Amino acid sequence: MNDAVAHDRELDASGLNCPLPLLKAKMELNKLPSGAVLKVIATDAGSQRDFRTFAKLAGHTLLREEDEAGVYRYWLKKA
């Protein structure tokens, strides 16, 4: 597992299909203060599109994303 970016909380959404990884991430972000970083691990290929779009629309920053053997990792900085 790669911890490329420091994060405040981690959410493992492996095995969940769209839209659950994004919904669970939104719930976790709601618990965090502004500026905190949430690392999300997902296995749903559709999560790439979902997290990119969500970050833009919600004003969060997608600091980094990784795709390694069907495991997707995202680091979201809360607006």
Question: What DSSP character marks residue 46?
Answer: T
Those residues whose C-beta lies under 8 Å from the C-beta of residue 12, and which sit 6 or more positions away, are 41
Catalogue the active-site residues: 18
| CB contact at 8 A, 77 and 34 | no
Question: How many CB atoms neighbour CB 40 within 10 A?
Answer: 25
Q: For the chain, what's the residue count?
A: 79
